[in-house]
Amino acid sequence: MNDLFDAQLKDTVRYLGTTLGETIEAELGREWLQKIEQIRLDGRDSYADVTQSTDNLTALFSSLDNQSLLTIGRAFAQFLNLANIAEQEYNSANQREESLAKSLEKIKTMGANKEKVLAAIKNLNIDLVLTAHPTEVTRRTLIHKHRQLAAQLEALHVSDLSDRARQRIKTRIAALISQAWHTEEIRSVRPTPVDEARWGFSVIENSLWEAVPEFLRELEEYLKSEFDITLPLDAKAVQFSSWMGGDRDGNPFVTSKVTEEVLMLARRRAAKLFSLDMDQLYIELSMNDCNEKLREMVGDAKEPYRAALRNIGNKLEKTSSNLLPIDEWVYDNDELLVPLLACYESLHECGMGVIAEGALKDTIRRVHSFGVNLLKLDIRQDSDRHADVFSELTRYLGLGDYAQWSEEDKQAFLLRELSSKRPLIPRNWKPSEDAQEVIDTCDVISRHSQQSFGIYIISMAREASDVMAVQLLLKEAGVSWPMSVAPLFETLDDLNNSPKVMRNLLEIDWYRGYIKGRQFVMIGYSDSAKDAGSLAAGWAQYESQEALVALAEEKSVILTLFHGRGGTIGRGGLPAKAAIHSQPPGSLTGGFRVTEQGETIRYKFGMPQLAKRSLSIYAAAVVEAMLSPPPAPKPVWRETITKMAAKARDNYRGVVREDPEFVPYFRVATPEQELGKLPLGSRPAKRNPNGGIESLRAIPWIFAWAQTRMVLPSWLGVMKAVESVISDGNEDTVKDMINNWPFFNSRLSMLDMVFKKAEPHISAAYDARLVPDNLKHFGEGLRTELKESIASILRILDHTDMMEDDPHGKLSMEIRGGYLEPLHYLQIELLDRIRKEGSSDYNDNDTATLEMAMMVTITGIAIGLRNTG
């Protein structure tokens, strides 16, 4: 990043804001534009004079009707969207200046030799799992307009544009901004799981399909020039999986029928994309000369390359158009690869290698990265749902209640049935609807190829029997290939117990034979942080991974750790490089698998250049970590962080779990109750709709605190624990940990960013208006700790302001700050009106407007903070 790009970003944001203002003026008149501009100035000036500016905003908003509040909310939410688009284009433009070689330059400075680099590249396996947690607040129709707008901004920044061309682009930008302004931001209904899957497919079609082969080509060029290494044609440096349509944990809308539909849609979308590739290759490969192998394939055809691709091209086109029976669709990757590789080899043998290395090579690499299924679908289900099936079944068979058995008895039963050649489930058994759904899901898996699926994840896995139960269900359904089953360890206790559970599994002879030397384990970040706070959860995750890596080495098993990170620190979110380098040494041996959720998919992969940049960052970080693993913690570091994590856990739980005033305060001080009305994702906000805060999912839990700028789950209890340990005479040790241990340094760096987003005076404004007098002291206590925590981290890092080490991130937040401020005070006004009215009657037009304005402010604040949960 440099000053030129920073200036360009500011200019672009200013230009887009002016254009939006012209759109508003055209519809509502000059008076409205002046009113919105004055609100913007008050929001910006609040940093200099909080009391006067916020008093002005509060007085104005209280005097306006609901429709006017909706209009103001839309204006500021739209502007924040435009600021995000400007920054995306800025990052995309910066990618053109920052090549992959620059990202990888540290490899050369480490003195890595050719053999080590080659080994790292061969083991480079990045699996990005696209998820649709309820965090993507922007409608797909607006995302499409935003993508077009970004493309126009990119064109506008070409240096040698003629005046006429520049004006034409500006006219198009104005039209797109006007289209967005006249489009409702909020979905009228929640998206279905199939809708979410289609959105995931569109990210591949519009961005990743182009970005992946470009990234691999640049990686290959770098390796060739610097180390004389050729990237293998079948290199799977990056591949994609998905939870959209497969994640049924707590989502009653993801059924076996939905999973089947998503699988079919994915295959058709892949067929469409490969069909377009084949059309392009058919145009290009018009040569006559070929080798003997290709001649044997096509006979005496005059244009052998076109002949080799004709049948598969026609089949792909008919598959995409749904003109073939399913059993005649392109079934597996080999069906595509055989003719493609035959053409590739022939071109090289016949002196036309330059042709082979073009579009044909890109298509071959797409087959390896995406495949005929587009991406691999993971299945996720709660462990209790599997146990319930066996409870019903064992009662039916007169064997007692499986749920009441000891772990030893469960394992003995499961092992006996896994080794048996007879079916366990009687044909005439009629299970409950819930049990049947679990069985039907396994049946869907049995009807599709192994290439269609990633792994089967068991939420709330606590015992070895939880894994074996899934394997028995898959066997009973007729799944003929060994599907990888991954326990997900989520809570603090589960993380701490995970090495014991996995040891029990790996000491079972049958199990070791089943997994064939490969084991997946998913580490949960969201629920563990909600359970124990971010620092205690982070250390438990580290120790768990460390122990699992050691166990895998002991048992000669390749372990792939699957990181269920979110976009925020409260859900394990870290910048890609920091996340990878803060893992224990040896944790990348089996590859790197991580969730990419909701709005972070769009920010990282929404445009081809952005996607290429993100893939380059991941690749550089993984290769660097493999060549130069992070250090194992020194004994004194381990002792210090253990004390620190325990204190942070007790601090956090002392507030969230043990203080009787916490839940009543949370309910009134944040828009948690109103969030349920925002139609974000297909999954309900609560696992149990009748439950309290303990059943609230980690995402809305964090979302609610972000809205008030308290961002409490990310920092509560942490700096108090750090200061406590320092006061015990450990300041030098803590400094050493900051300077030399990536795990600890990354956590403080993320807190630095979190504190930049926190605004105590905004949280205080929510309390002043919404919290009853008997609870106001509670919020004051939290803000006192927040302010003390900010002062503490500045002192420890020897900084004078937040985000000193990330000037671009700091600039980004400061650009948004003045536009976020009015939305918060607008939201406070709306919350006050909604709660006083106590009505949700959407037949009442005024109430509907009030509710819509509320949802617009929630959306706008989430957009401005660049993450929701």
Q: Which residues are the active-site residues?
A: 133, 530
Please name the amino acid found at residue 214. E
Residues 179, 175: Cα–Cα separation, whole Å: 6
Q: Which helix (H) or strand (E) holds 596?
A: strand 592-597
Mark out the alpha helices in 285-381 (DSSP H runs): 292-298, 304-320, 333-349, 353-355, 361-369
Nearest alpha carbon to residue 763 among 784, 749, 792, 791 = 784
Compute the CA torsion angle 580, 581, 585, 588 (nearest 10 deg).
Answer: 20
CA distance 309 to 341: 11
Which own/partner pairs from 799-807 qualify as long-range (CB within 8 Å, at least 24 positions apart)?
799/752, 802/752, 802/753, 802/755, 802/756, 803/752, 803/753, 803/756, 805/749, 805/752, 806/752, 806/753, 807/1, 807/6
Question: In terms of Cα–Cα distance, which of 379, 449, 377, 393 is closest to 426?
Answer: 393
Residue 278: both structure tokens together: 């084949």
Contact 433, 397 (CB under 8 A): no
Give how far Cα 671 sits from Cα of 129, 215, 708, 830, Å: 30, 42, 8, 10
**How does 847-856 read in b/e, with b if 16+ C-beta sit within 10 Å?**
bebbbbbbbb
Burial class (CB in 10 A: 0-12, 13-18, 19+), 163: exposed
Q: Tell me the C-alpha to C-alpha distance, in Å, between residue 120 and each of 108, 238, 590, 758.
A: 14, 14, 11, 40
Hey, how many other C-beta atoms are within 10 angstroms of the C-beta on 181? 16
- Report the C-alpha gap between 707 and 239 in whole angstroms: 34
In terms of Cβ atoms closer than 10 Å to its own Cβ (0-12, 13-18, 19+), residue 842 is exposed
Rounded to an integer, what distance in angstroms lies between the CA atom of residue 237 and that of residue 778?
A: 50
Strand-strand pairing, 485-489 and 558-564: unpaired
Q: For residue 627, give the H/E element and its range.
A: helix 608-627
Q: Are 623 and 597 in contact (CB under 8 A)?
A: no
